[in-house]
Structure 1
Amino acid sequence: MPREYRYQTLEKWLLKGLQEQRWPPGERLPSVRSLCQQQQVSKATVLHAYQRLEALGLIESRPKAGYFVLKPSTETCEPRTTGTMLPPRPVSLSDVFADIMGRSAAFDILPDLKAGEASPGISALNRCLGRALRSQKGDRSQYYDQPAGDPGLREQLALLYHRRGYQCEADNFCITSGCQNAMFLALMACCQKGDIVAVESPGFYGILQLLEQLELKVIEIPSSPATGMDIDALEAAIQQWSIRACVVTPAYATPSGSLMPDSARHKLLNLAENHDLAIIEDDIYADTGFVRQPDPLKALDQSNRVILCSSFSKSLSRDLRLGWIDGARWHARILRLKLVTQLASSRYLQQGVTEFIRDGGYRSHLKRQRLELRQNRDQLIQLIQQQWPLTLSRNTRISQPNGGLAVWLELDSDKDILTCYQRALEEGIIITPGSLFSVSGQHSHCLRLSFAHHWDNKRTQALKKLGQVLHHFA
């Protein structure tokens, strides 16, 4: 087992105090200085522990006042584990999914709204890409990129992961056409037709699409909007069925924004080792974390059985289609599969992004983006509570993620959000019904709403109209 760092020890001590109500809800926690003296640790250690608890939604930082214990909500924000575990089944996605993707509306209720000016980060990225494209002179543009991808970009990825606790090398990575492509390669490398794959429920519909194309069977594992996949339920499923792989998003999973605690991560890896399970980690949302960017599950992998997949599509730009995969024990096979399915990646895109990261542009962009996303999340939840008085009830639940791009709404159990899709479409509004995040018809009374965009007047009015549609037609 890897050694426990001081901030982790302090975090556990603070968490135990919160559970025992040593500091009741609303009370101020010990100051950073007093904890440094009491626990004989550095200021950085205390701040790291406090930030991790804040990311879990247990405490909050108040400017010039310190850290305070959050009061649990009694109305709309109480998370709970959802989903029912059913026998493995083939995957078949609905026409609504294809319609949403065809309208480029996965993360916007008004996809036809005119886009605003590019952010400073995207403008800087475009300049880097332009310089890289202009540098492709002479015969250089006539050669394919090497299969693993640009060495410079892979080196920058290794440095980014070093800061998140994963000590890796550039050679660990293979560049892909986005995270979806990375997960496609991962599934092809470790699974065969007819194998059973465990996924979170609700879970990412993109992975369901891949499972359908590869003719794999899926078993849905109930998940909590706060802590992610129920590992005890996964263990029960493993005892009953021969599961080959598990796809999981430990950091700010879509659609709920859940963050898997360290204890569940360790238990998941123990299960994988004991039952020869391949773990495919979707790490795409980690960089969006408002307070902290948790270590990847891969950082705890002692047996080289976690395949790490990610991209820049959620943290930087969806247009890049630039991702990566750390293939673990399947790395050589993944490189061969990339040659067959993709051949090579764009050289100038990789070089432009490399410069953007190396010169500090990516770090500056993330700092601005995280602040904006947190403000957008808070505004979205406030607007829902204010504008949907007839839609909400005592049974309504709204997740409060500390990263990612969306909140998960759970309405009354008799609601059927899918029936509202066409009616909302007539108003120019695109919704993402909860049933799309399941292959067994679960979560029909839920929906995902994104806070990736600013809540300007037009989106605010669209949200208000959506509340009326849900009240009258769901």
Structure 2
Amino acid sequence: MGHSMSQFKYSRIAAELKNKILSNVWCADERLPSIRKLSNEYQVSKISIQNAMHKLEANGLIKARSRSGYYVVAQEKKTLPPNNTKQNAPSLVTMPDIFHEIMARSAAFDIYPEGNVREPSSHIQTLNRHINRAMRQQAARNALYYGTPEGDFILRKQLSKHYRSRDLSISADDICITSGCQNSLFLALSSCCQPGDTVAIESPSFYGILQLLQILKLNVIEIPASFSDGLPTQALEKAAQQWHIKACIVTPNFATPTGACMPQSEKLALCHLAHKYAFTIIEDDIYGDLGFHFNTQPLKSVDHHHNVILCSSFSKSLSRDLRTGWIMGGKHHKAIVHLSMVNNLANNQAIQQGLAGFISEGHFRRHLMQYRQTLEKQQNELINVLRENWSVPFTYTTPSGGLALMVTFEQKVNCISVYQEAIKEGIIPAPGSLFSTHNAFRHSMRLSFVHEISGKRLIAIKRLGQLIQAHV
């Protein structure tokens, strides 16, 4: 217990110092305060500060100089490149075939799906036991009756309790269980938009959202987003003055592909804009539980006019296989429940009952604590492997949570061509073009740190670097 507590301390301090470096509180080549000074400032032991420094050094953010202390590394100022894409007029979406290829190969967050998959954690095994128990105990009833359209009440109650830890007070009655976040997003869009309406999205944006917009025949306007701070409300307001925006889809916490996180001031400003211009915000909160060192606040927690529909699921935070999500529809709740019933009738009861028990006994909370540490470690490992093995100059994002980061090449590498070569060898990067409707980000790719970078995946990452080099 003492070990994990001290590990948490130094990880938290490392995260705070990293934020100061990335936001230029300390500039390139500037000397950091001494170990003793930082130890006094943070009220922790010198060893905790020393461990935090080692972590930052492993990330390439600082460098030790003999008898002089630690200094900020200059080149790291390039890790958050600007988003230079232009804002286009609203248009219908056409998605490339690559999206279907990637999904067909189960490679959405895995660069090398043929690599080894580690044994499930003890928490996943516990979850399976809870689900199996629910299947046995309720077998006859579950076989003969559908669940309610809103979903299992105890699971909704547990979700309501879970969101309180993230500063969102929501009643179980205001939550509807769905068959995953994609289903939640579909219900959200269907409840507040008609074909031909205009929807604003951040750019780059999750390709699953682009697919939905295409199917629902909605016009999309892409708002160029910051790779670190996400959707800029100033640019969104300019678009809202020019076009009638019906909805805005946003991932405020650890958006894919960049891992961007909206500052609190921008979250408040976005909710204000939704009220001012009478549009609905559809919040994709799927990565919201995956902050390495802090709980993120959902947009919905600062929504005083009930304009936010929150969508999420357990697929990124717990297991892809559950296919259990939820939606908090606010003023659209009744219409969403009706739509869900028409589209889906009901969801698997045993899985919902098993999940409810799993969360209520504290297993989900413990799983998240462990999983966040694993993800941060794997992000550091991925960055180190890229820096040591890729010879083509590149910049990258360093999110403080989520599952992925975005790499952008300074020399104009065509990542679609790289993808087409890599896929012949079973290596599947996610080209940046997937995350936009206008062929933007073609010199970028998303890389995930969901899996450990070792064995065949390590070989695949190194080989990908060689293929990129060949395209320069």
Alignment of 1:276-425 (within 5 A): 276-389=278-391, 391=392, 393=393, 396-412=394-410, 414-425=412-423
Report the identity percentage.
43
- TM-score, normalized by length of structure 1? 0.86
Amino acid at match of 2:420: Q
User: Is the CA contact (8 Å cut-off) linking 1:421 and 1:430 kept in structure 2?
Assistant: yes
- Judged with a 3 Å threshold, the aligned counterparts in structure 2 of structure 1 residues 229 and 239 are, in CA distance, closer, same or farther, namely same
1:152 partnered with 2:154: yes
User: Is the CA contact (8 Å cut-off) linking 1:82 and 1:224 kept in structure 2?
Assistant: no
Shift of 1:78: 3.0
Shift of 1:271: 0.8
Distance 1:388 1:464 in 2: 7
Shift of 1:102: 0.6
Shift of 1:414: 2.1
Amino acid at match of 1:27: P
User: Is the CA contact (8 Å cut-off) linking 2:80 and 2:227 kept in structure 1?
Assistant: no
User: Is the CA contact (8 Å cut-off) linking 2:116 and 2:456 kept in structure 1?
Assistant: no
Shift of 1:82: 4.2
Structure 2 stretches lacking a partner, 5+ long: 1-15, 44-55, 63-69
User: Is the CA contact (8 Å cut-off) linking 2:26 and 2:72 kept in structure 1?
Assistant: no
Q: Which residue of 1 aligns with 2:430?
A: 432
- Judged with a 3 Å threshold, the aligned counterparts in structure 2 of structure 1 residues 436 and 140 are, in CA distance, closer, same or farther, namely closer
Distance 2:245 2:115 in 1: 44
Q: Which string of whole-angstrom CA distances, capped at 9 and with x for unpartnered residues, describes residues 134-169 of structure 1?
A: 112324421011010000000000001111101111
SS in 2 for 1:419: helix
- Judged with a 3 Å threshold, the aligned counterparts in structure 2 of structure 1 residues 235 and 71 are, in CA distance, closer, same or farther, namely farther
1:26 partnered with 2:28: no
Shift of 1:21: 6.4
Q: Which string of whole-angstrom CA distances, capped at 9 and with x for unpartnered residues, describes residues 429-465 of structure 1?
A: 0111000000011000000000000111211111000
Shift of 1:85: 0.6
Distance 1:412 1:330 in 2: 45
Q: Which residue of 2 aligns with 1:4?
A: none
Shift of 1:275: 0.2
- Judged with a 3 Å threshold, the aligned counterparts in structure 2 of structure 1 residues 28 and 93 are, in CA distance, closer, same or farther, namely farther
State which drifts further: 78-87 or 284-293: 78-87
Distance 2:74 2:317 in 1: 29
Q: Which string of whole-angstrom CA distances, capped at 9 and with x for unpartnered residues, describes residues 384-418 of structure 1?
A: 011001x2x2xx21000111111100112522100
RMSD between superposed Cα atoms in Å: 2.5
Of the candidates 243, 255, 258, which is equivalent to residue 257 of structure 2? Answer: 255
Shift of 1:215: 0.3
- Judged with a 3 Å threshold, the aligned counterparts in structure 2 of structure 1 residues 152 and 33 are, in CA distance, closer, same or farther, namely farther
State which drifts further: 68-77 or 112-121: 68-77
Shift of 1:345: 0.9
Of the candidates 265, 271, 274, which is equivalent to residue 272 of structure 1? Answer: 274
User: Is the CA contact (8 Å cut-off) linking 1:247 and 1:281 kept in structure 2?
Assistant: yes
1:100 partnered with 2:106: no
Of the candidates 181, 184, 204, which is equivalent to residue 182 of structure 1? Answer: 184
Distance 1:296 1:236 in 2: 24
Distance 1:458 1:138 in 2: 45
- Judged with a 3 Å threshold, the aligned counterparts in structure 2 of structure 1 residues 32 and 172 are, in CA distance, closer, same or farther, namely farther
Distance 2:79 2:166 in 1: 29
Alignment of 1:119-158 (within 5 A): 119-158=121-160
Distance 2:292 2:469 in 1: 32
Q: Which string of whole-angstrom CA distances, capped at 9 and with x for unpartnered residues, describes residues 261-286 of structure 1?
A: 01111111111110001000000001
1:246 partnered with 2:244: no
Shift of 1:367: 1.1
Q: Which residue of 1 aligns with 2:222?
A: 220
User: Is the CA contact (8 Å cut-off) linking 1:398 and 1:407 kept in structure 2?
Assistant: yes
- Judged with a 3 Å threshold, the aligned counterparts in structure 2 of structure 1 residues 239 and 130 are, in CA distance, closer, same or farther, namely same
Amino acid at match of 2:144: Q
Alignment of 1:10-21 (within 5 A): none
Distance 2:74 2:137 in 1: 55
Q: Which residue of 1 aligns with 2:53?
A: none
User: Is the CA contact (8 Å cut-off) linking 2:93 and 2:437 kept in structure 1?
Assistant: yes
User: Is the CA contact (8 Å cut-off) linking 1:182 and 1:323 kept in structure 2?
Assistant: yes
Distance 1:138 1:388 in 2: 57
SS in 2 for 1:304: coil
- Judged with a 3 Å threshold, the aligned counterparts in structure 2 of structure 1 residues 135 and 334 are, in CA distance, closer, same or farther, namely same
SS in 2 for 1:290: coil
- TM-score, normalized by length of structure 2? 0.86
Shift of 1:71: 6.1
Q: Which residue of 2 aligns with 1:453?
A: 451
User: Is the CA contact (8 Å cut-off) linking 1:252 and 1:403 kept in structure 2?
Assistant: yes
Aligned residue pairs, count: 430
Q: Which string of whole-angstrom CA distances, capped at 9 and with x for unpartnered residues, describes residues 167-210 of structure 1?
A: 11101100001111001000000001001111111110010000
Distance 1:34 1:440 in 2: 48
Distance 1:210 1:263 in 2: 29
Structure 1 stretches lacking a partner, 5+ long: 1-10, 37-53, 61-67
Distance 1:72 1:298 in 2: 38
